Amino acid sequence: MCKSDNVRRLVESGNYKAALGITKGFKRGIIKEDLDKMTLAYECMIYPQFYEQIGTDTSIAINEGVKTLITLYGQNKE
């Protein structure tokens, strides 16, 4: 199973944290803006206090990253 297939499976099961953890390492096939949103979402899940201290609204960052993840890897995406 390739990484993209694994991400699709994780998204389908609702395990967004694990899926974001994989996508943050992707280098190809994703525009920088989308990759940045997903990476920030994952980092906010892992280190929420740090990102809150530097002024990031972690709930917004996580929601945007998850939305991007679902758009790219949700149902009916190949």
Q: How far apart are CA 58 and CA 51, in angstroms?
A: 7
The angle at the Cα of 17, spanning 1 to 27, to the nearest 5 degrees, equals 55
User: Could you report the per-residue pLDDT of 32-61, keeping only the tens digit for each?
Assistant: 999 999 999 999 999 999 999 999 999 999
- Domains of the chain, residue spans: 3-73
Average pLDDT across the chain, whole number: 92
74 or 78, which is more confident: 74
As to burial, measured by CB atoms within 10 angstroms (0-12 exposed, 13-18 middle, 19+ buried), residue 4 is middle
The pLDDT of 22-30, averaged and rounded, is 86
Query: 77 pLDDT exceeds 70?
Result: no
User: Is the full-model pTM beyond 0.85?
Assistant: yes
Crossing angle for the helix pair 16-23 and 58-73, nearest 10 degrees? 80
What integer pLDDT is reported at residue 76 of this predicted model?
A: 56
Q: How far apart are CA 62 and CA 44, in angstroms?
A: 7
